[in-house]
Amino acid sequence: MMASLLVMIGGFFGAICRYAVSRWAARRSPRFPLGTLIVNLLGSFLLGWLAGSGAADAEKLLVGTGFMGAFTTFSTFKWESVQMMQRKQQGKTRTYLVVVCSYLVVTYSFGVLLAWLGYHLGR
């Protein structure tokens, strides 16, 4: 019961923070999913740091599973990638394929790199 409560509390705050970052980023970059990129890269780093820090199980549930689970978003990342590819197919701009590929490469490669860095800094 306590584990579920920790995940729920963490998820509540993670979702609010994700929403705030997404709203902030949407005002600065309305056509590029900057908010999703920020939360996923920051989340990768922080989750790596948490894993390397030797945090207690309760902290891992609250911050790792709850907060980071709601803060980061794999499904939104995929959906926004598809939307960007659809814009390319509709002929709105010719550079969208390059932008989408760059977005995918940056998210995956820097996500893994930042998780690794966070892990080592957490130790």
Residue list, annotated binding site for Na(+) = 69, 72
Q: Residues, the chain, total?
A: 123
For helices 96-105 and 74-89, angle between their N-to-C axes, nearest 10 degrees: 160
Binding-site members are 69, 72
Measured CA to CA, the distance from residue 108 to residue 114 in angstroms comes to 10
Tokens of 30: 């309305």
